[in-house]
């Protein structure tokens, strides 16, 4: 039986969270001191980790979530089941707007696994967190300027 549409097990969630924590330890955050790690699970159960990478030109920084997605895409993986996001913050850290849009492009119904500094876990879905994303339906065919 295929596991493609099945929910994650507790062990699989814990593995994603552990991988995200390992990625967070590699974060490059000399300006904000705000480290974030992410672990993205593909439909074939491959995990891609990402961490935030800051730059003194702040606009050139990349979030952990997009870092993980871009690594997965580079490896030919574009179908995702879940992502775990961890930080040192006392609150749960959802993806920023840019990351929500990038995640939606590939997996609008993916599971989000959020943790906080106390080790508490909260799960949600990307669709619940991001109810009105820009998508291809919105872009549609536009008339040519010719």
User: Catalytic residue numbers?
Assistant: 65
CB 41 within 8 A of CB 83: yes
3-class SS string, the chain: CCCCCCCCCHHHHHHHHHHHHHHHCCCECCCCCCCEEEEEEECCCCEEEEECECCCCHHHCECHHHHHHHHHHHCCCCCEEEEEEEECCCCCCCCCHHHHHHHHHHCCCCEEEEECCCCCEEEEEHHHHCCCCCCHHHHCCCCCCC
> What's the residue count for the chain?
146
Give strand pairing partners of 82: 41, 111
């Amino acid at each position: 039986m295929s596991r493609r549409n099945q929910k994650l097990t507790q062990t699989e969630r814990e593995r994603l969270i552990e991988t995200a924590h390992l990625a967070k330890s590699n974060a490059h955050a000399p300006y904000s001191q705000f480290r974030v790690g992410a672990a993205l699970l593909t439909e074939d159960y491959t995990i891609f980790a990402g961490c935030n990478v800051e730059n003194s030109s702040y606009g050139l920084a990349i979030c952990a979530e997009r870092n993980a997605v871009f690594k997965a895409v580079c490896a030919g993986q574009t179908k995702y089941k879940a992502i775990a996001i961890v930080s040192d913050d006392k609150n749960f850290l959802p993806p920023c707007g840019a990351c929500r849009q990038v995640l939606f492009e590939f997996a609008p119904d993916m599971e989000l696994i959020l943790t906080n500094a106390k080790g508490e876990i909260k799960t949600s879905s990307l669709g619940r967190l991001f109810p009105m994303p820009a998508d291809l339906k919105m872009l549609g065919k536009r008339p040519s300027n010719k």
